Structure 1
Amino acid sequence: MAQTTKRALAASLKKLLKERPLDNITVKDIVEDCEVNRQTFYYHFQDIYDLLLWVFTTEAEAVIADNKHAGTWREGFLNTFRYVKENRGMILHIFRSNGREHLDRYLYSMVQQFLADVLEENDKGLNVSDGDKAFIADFFKYAFVGIMLDWISSDMKEDPETIVDRVARLLEGEFRHALEKFSK
């Protein structure tokens, strides 16, 4: 029952985000659209940003779940672009709001974990410290998320496949190469 209620609240937030910016949505708007009371909302979430994080966590992570590996990272990155494009109205309303940092923070967190998994697979036979692997993941994370945020800010005009193909071409072999530079 709790998951059903959370999904219903999430659907209401997503519906409202297609219509207006995050800054113009209140808990009252969500509960009225969802036809539940405020207490129900606060039983599940601390605030709208907590609900937004739950939406990202449950939906966006499902998009890359099977593609967090050295051989499939390209597909995971492309699926992330596709998810953003499919939810264009919602993402743009978040991107252009005072709550944008929640989108940025989530993207950085998701890509950090995604890259950590890819780097771990590329680390075979190398002796790279966890701190150095985290540094390498951070470096690539800022590139990946920066490209995505730039694409969002330009109204998602460029084809995601083209962007990801360019990134893949640029990074072919680079994860392993970066790890080799830090190997002891």
Structure 2
Amino acid sequence: MPVDMKAKIAETLYELLKHKSLDKITVKELVNTCNISRQSFYYHFQDIMDVVEWCQNQSLKQSIERSLEAPSYKEAIRGLIYKTFEHKEFIQQLMASQRRSEMERLFLKAIRTYLQALHRSKGSRISCSQEDLETVLSFCSCGLVGILLTSLSQKTPDVDALANQMCRLLTGEITFCFTDQA
């Protein structure tokens, strides 16, 4: 059976990140640990950040597939939150790197893509212009990423409560709006 070299490289990076910072991992170390040539690495990836982005895209694809199978928005969102916490150490290692702003941008892009796919697949009741939908997606993505990153840094986050709150917020059960008192 042929080896999926991209997956092998990604799994090796994941294992290395359990023991050291992203900033300390070199392509040389990665190829030596994988037992492959540099040429093989560069055939599949441009650099280590390319591996990180590929990993995130693979995870995103899996999350979207699971969401399509989920019976409701709530179950889909809950699944995303639990999956995020399953990868807590990996995400924390990435966020602890000198490339944090790049990691946040990738995470934000992935969450936005996820919410957009969820909206399309579940036939959302949102009736608004495309421009307003883009604003809602951006707002929800930024909020969800911020809350997830904050919660991941807590010693003992209540993942069940967080998932419940995010589900209620994203499905409109919790609303918050400013009103002018005239």
Question: CA separation in 1, counterparts of 2:118 and 2:136?
Answer: 11
CA 1:136–1:174: 2 relative to 1, 3 Å? farther
- Root-mean-square deviation over aligned CA pairs: 2.8
Q: Which amino acid aligns with 1:115?
A: L
Identify the structure with the greater helix proportion: 1
Question: CA separation in 2, counterparts of 1:65 and 1:22?
Answer: 28
Q: Which amino acid aligns with 1:6?
A: K
Cα distance, 1:70 vs structure 2: 9.7
Q: Which residue of 1 aligns with 2:168?
A: 169
Question: CA separation in 2, counterparts of 1:26 and 1:167?
Answer: 37
Question: CA separation in 2, counterparts of 1:174 and 1:117?
Answer: 21
Would you say the 8 A contact 2:140–2:170 is kept in 1? no
CA 1:85–1:170: 2 relative to 1, 3 Å? closer
CA 1:79–1:119: 2 relative to 1, 3 Å? closer
Q: Deviations over 1:61-83 (max 9, x none)?
A: 30342316996333333333333
Cα distance, 1:88 vs structure 2: 2.7
Q: Which residue of 2 aligns with 1:13?
A: 13
Q: Please give the residue correspondences for 1:87-166 in structure 2 after superposition, counting only pairs within 5 Å.
A: 87-120=87-120, 121-123=123-125, 126=127, 128-155=128-155, 157-166=156-165
CA 1:136–1:30: 2 relative to 1, 3 Å? same
Stretches of structure 1 that go unaligned for 5 or more consecutive residues are 178-184
CA 1:71–1:174: 2 relative to 1, 3 Å? farther
Q: Which residue of 2 aligns with 1:182?
A: none
Q: Which amino acid aligns with 1:172?
A: T
CA 1:79–1:123: 2 relative to 1, 3 Å? closer
Look up the SS of the partner of 2:67 in the other structure.
coil
Stretches of structure 2 that go unaligned for 5 or more consecutive residues are 176-182
Are residue 43 (structure 1) and residue 80 (structure 2) matched?
A: no
CA 1:2–1:78: 2 relative to 1, 3 Å? farther
Would you say the 8 A contact 2:13–2:30 is kept in 1? yes
The list of structure 1 runs, each at least 4 consecutive aligned residues, that deviate by more than 4 angstroms after superposition, is 68-71
Q: How many residues align?
A: 174
CA 1:111–1:87: 2 relative to 1, 3 Å? closer
CA 1:106–1:73: 2 relative to 1, 3 Å? farther
TM norm structure 2 = 0.82
TM norm structure 1 = 0.81
